[in-house]
Every structure is written in C-alpha cells, then in structure tokens.
Chains A and B, each alone.
Chain A
Amino acid sequence: MNSKTTFFQLDFFSQCKKYDVPFLQCPQFLFLIMGMIIIGSILFTFAIGNHYIKNPSIVALFTLSIAAVLFIISFIITRSFEKLLEVSRMKSEFISIVSHQLRSPLSNLSWAIELLMSGKLGKIEEKQVEYFRILKENSARMKELVSDLLIVSRLETASLPSKKTTFSFEDLVKELIKNFEPFARASNVKIEFFSEENLPMAFGDPSQIRLVVENLLDNAIRYIKDKGKVIIKLKKKNKNIFFEIEDNGVGIPKEDQKHIFQKFFQAENVLKYQTQGSGLGLYICKAIVEKLGGKIGFKSQENKGSTFWFTIPFK
C-alpha cells in the first residue's frame, strides 16, 4: 500500500459513502474513532495517574471503562465487516442464480429460432430472414453474456476450482486458431502463429487457459476495423511460457488504458462502432491468469493496435 492509498483510507467521508452504510457502521470511521480514543486514553491515563497517584483504584476503574468502550467499538466493527462480506456473497450468489435461470428460456428461444430458420417448418421470405438473423445473433449474445456472468460469479465466490495438469500450450493455441479461422476470414483478418522450438509443457488448467486465449483472440479479431493481421507468439521466458498476441486494430485510448481490466469496462472508441461484448472478457482473463500464478499485461496505441501478453508457469 503506498502513501496515497493510505491517505485515501483516512478520507472516511468518501469511503463510507461508497459502502452506503451509516457512519456508525462504517469500518473506516470506527477505526478512526477507536484510534483517537486509544491515543486520548493513554494521555488521559497518564495525566490521571499522575494526579491520583495515591489512589490507584480510581486509575484502574478509569482504564477499565475505557477498555469496555473499545471492546464495544471493535464489536461493532466486526459486525459491520460481516455485513459487508455477506452483501458481497449475496451479490455473487444472486448473479449465479439469475444466470442459471436465464439459461433455460435462452435455449428454448435460440432453438426455436434455429428450427424456424432451417425452413423445416415451411419456407420463409427473404425479408423475414433478416429479422430472424437479428433474433439469432441477439440470443447468441445473451447466451455469451450469461455464461460470462456465471464465470465471474464463480471466480468471485471461489467456486471455480482449477484442475492443474501439464499440457501442450502450442497445441491448444493451434486448435483455437483453427476454431477462429472462419470468424477471422469473415472479418478479413489473417492469423499468424510463431512458436519457439522445444517449448516445455505448460502447467495449469487447460480449460481455463483456453478461456483466456479465446477472449484475447476474439478481441484481437473483433477490433480490427477493415482488414488486418493478428500475430500470436509463444516463447519461453524465465520460468514461464510467454504468450503474446498482437493486432493492428483500433487500439485502446490512453485515458482508458488503466481501466481496461475492470469489470464491465469498455473503451470509448470501441463503444462508438460496436456495442457487442459484455465488458467482462478481460476481467475474466486477468482473474484466471493470476489465479494460475501468471501475469497479464498489454501495450496499446489508439488507431495503431494492441499487444496483449500473459505468462503461465511450466514444470
């Protein structure tokens, strides 16, 4: 914690406003009060001890009552912490329940649309096809959003266990590139892949690393405006495997860069011409990479492109 954040902790006005609890239940405020009482009581005990030097029972009684006050305050602090934790747990649980409940109607919807579009129930007109396509795309978007929300709630309630094994990172990336090939071709994007020779096996949860690579690859292709190139590199670096993905897309504006890994954040230039995406992808990437003992980062220049990287340990 640097001095700036320490100082910010002392600004209990804005801190307590953030939690939306009354002052008497706000941990920051209560800590400040407790600190002041402790300092005050030490000074006062010293003074009173000097004054009643011949009557130690008064001094003892005074110290005892101060201790009782401190005990009550710390009890309230503990309670308010419990409350805040409970709220956070309930929030994640709520997201999880809602997303689960949304899944059934979403499957019903997208399958009904698929059946209608297949023409098996009768021919559909050209004009109608357009609208069916809108329905289909949007139900797919909702599905993605729901599944992202579920991953986030699992990450936050620590109920996404990692099954760590050794696996070939190179094969995983190759497979994903193959999966993304149709999307890339449709977006006029070429994917190039370079891997260092004799790369050691990675150690982590392959299904979770897959999520990270999928998200980064999807972003790289999606945010190239007309046509372009995505370059993926894999190499060994110290005790890690280093994954890098470079695109020549729209890039991230400088003022947005510090927020890019935040939940629900989407850069301004991206929102202008593209509203898809949940704003959860990079948040999920960061949470997973860090959980598996790696690091994640990027460099980017607006209108030039972005390069995202992350590391995964090997055994």
Chain B
Amino acid sequence: MAKKILFIEDESALQKTFGDLLTQEGYKMISALDGETGLRLVKETKPDLILLDLILPKINGFEVLKKIKEDEETKDIPVIILTNLEEIKDVERTLESGATTYLVKSQYTLEEIVQKIKNILKDK
C-alpha cells in the first residue's frame, strides 16, 4: 500500500505542487492548511511521515510538533520541518522537540526534498 505523507502547510500553491509531486513518486498525500486540522489528521490518519511548516494559522508549527511528540500514539512518526525561517534558535528548538530534520525552503530543490523523504521512509 502506498505510504501516507501528511503535508501541513498554509500555502495552497505548495499543497498543489507537492500533491502532484508526491503522487508521481507513488505516495499518498494528505493535506492540512492549518495547525489545528493538521493535528486532527495526524491522529485520524496515522501518516508514515509528516512535512510541517512553522508559520501556520490557528496553531503554529512549533506547537503542532510538540503535541505530536507528546502523544504516545504519534510520537514515532518522523517529522520534516519545511520552512522559510532560518534562525539557528528555531532549528535548535525544533530538533530538541524531536523533529527528524530541518529544511529551509529556499535552499532545496524538490528533487533533494524527495530524496530526503525516501531516505527517511527507507530507514523506518
């Protein structure tokens, strides 16, 4: 069965791009446009991997990450942070909370991001 990836990101343009890309790569993508919906879908769908933006409406990405990692049922799901914030303090804060890796949007191509996703899902 196709692996499920939950993409929590408020930019609908990116939701579309990643939707097409991940479907092409053989994954099933579930999208959430805000933190609250994201958290609900984490519980409901139990994805294999989560792509998480940090600046989000309703509940921000830092909080979403914390809640995912506090919950026994969801704490083992790998989370990739995908954001435009690039301050060291943000990187440290999310890695301490248990994020698997931190990617600054402007520094990666889609191909590189897909490669990261593949590597993480392979190790799982």
**Are A106's CB and B21's CB within 8 A?**
no
Residues in B neighbouring A103, C-beta threshold 8 A: 84, 105-106
Can you list the 9 inter-chain pairs with the closest CB atoms, starting with the nearest? A107-B105, A108-B13, A103-B84, A120-B24, A114-B110, A111-B17, A111-B110, A112-B17, A103-B106
Residues in A neighbouring B84, C-beta threshold 8 A: 100, 103-104, 107
Residues from 103 to 135 in A contacting B, C-beta threshold 8 Å: 103-104, 106-108, 111-112, 114-115, 118, 120-121
Q: Does B71 have its Cβ within 8 Å of any Cβ on chain A?
A: no
Separation of A103 and B53 alpha carbons in the complex (Å)? 14
Residues in A neighbouring B24, C-beta threshold 8 A: 120-121
Residues in A neighbouring B109, C-beta threshold 8 A: 111, 114
Residues in B neighbouring A106, C-beta threshold 8 A: 106
Contact among A115, A146, A147 for B20, CB-based, below 8 A: A115
Give B60 Cβ to nearest chain A Cβ, in Å: 15
Residues in B neighbouring A115, C-beta threshold 8 A: 17, 20-21, 110
Q: Does B111 have its Cβ within 8 Å of any Cβ on chain A?
A: yes
Give A106 Cβ to nearest chain B Cβ, in Å: 7
What string of 1s and 0s marks CB contacts (under 8 Å) between A142-155 and chain B? 01001100000000
A-B contact count (CB 8 A): 39
Closest partner residue, chain B, to A106 (CB atom): B106
Separation of A119 and B11 alpha carbons in the complex (Å)? 23
Contact among A108, A120, A147 for B21, CB-based, below 8 A: A120
Residues in A neighbouring B21, C-beta threshold 8 A: 115, 120
For the side of the interface on B, what is the size category? 10 to 19
**Are B106's CB and A147's CB within 8 A?**
yes
**Are B20's CB and A104's CB within 8 A?**
no
Residues from 273 to 313 in A contacting B, C-beta threshold 8 Å: none
A-B contact pairs, 9 of them (CB 8 A): A107-B105, A107-B106, A108-B14, A108-B17, A112-B13, A118-B111, A120-B21, A121-B20, A147-B106
What string of 1s and 0s marks CB contacts (under 8 Å) between B76-90 and chain A? 000000001000000
Residues from 79 to 116 in B contacting A, C-beta threshold 8 Å: 84, 105-106, 109-111
Give B90 Cβ to nearest chain A Cβ, in Å: 13
- Chain A: residues with Cβ within 8 Å of the partner, total of 16
Give B31 Cβ to nearest chain A Cβ, in Å: 15
Give B103 Cβ to nearest chain A Cβ, in Å: 11
Give A230 Cβ to nearest chain B Cβ, in Å: 25
Residues from 42 to 67 in A contacting B, C-beta threshold 8 Å: none
Closest partner residue, chain B, to A121 (CB atom): B20
Residues in B neighbouring A111, C-beta threshold 8 A: 14, 17, 109-110
Give B87 Cβ to nearest chain A Cβ, in Å: 10
Give A162 Cβ to nearest chain B Cβ, in Å: 12
Closest partner residue, chain A, to B85 (CB atom): A100
Among B11, B17, B24, chain A packs the most CB atoms within 10 A around the CB of B17
Separation of A118 and B109 alpha carbons in the complex (Å)? 11
Give A158 Cβ to nearest chain B Cβ, in Å: 15
Separation of A121 and B21 alpha carbons in the complex (Å)? 9
Residues from 8 to 62 in B contacting A, C-beta threshold 8 Å: 11, 13-14, 17, 20-21, 24
Separation of A108 and B16 alpha carbons in the complex (Å)? 10
Separation of A103 and B86 alpha carbons in the complex (Å)? 11
With A115-B20, A115-B21: A104-B11 Cβ-Cβ less than 8 Å: yes
Give A52 Cβ to nearest chain B Cβ, in Å: 68
Separation of A154 and B110 alpha carbons in the complex (Å)? 28
Closest partner residue, chain B, to A147 (CB atom): B106
Beyond A103-B106, A143-B106: 10 further Cβ-contacts under 8 Å? A104-B11, A106-B106, A107-B105, A111-B109, A112-B13, A114-B109, A115-B20, A115-B110, A118-B111, A121-B24
Residues in A neighbouring B106, C-beta threshold 8 A: 103, 106-107, 143, 146-147
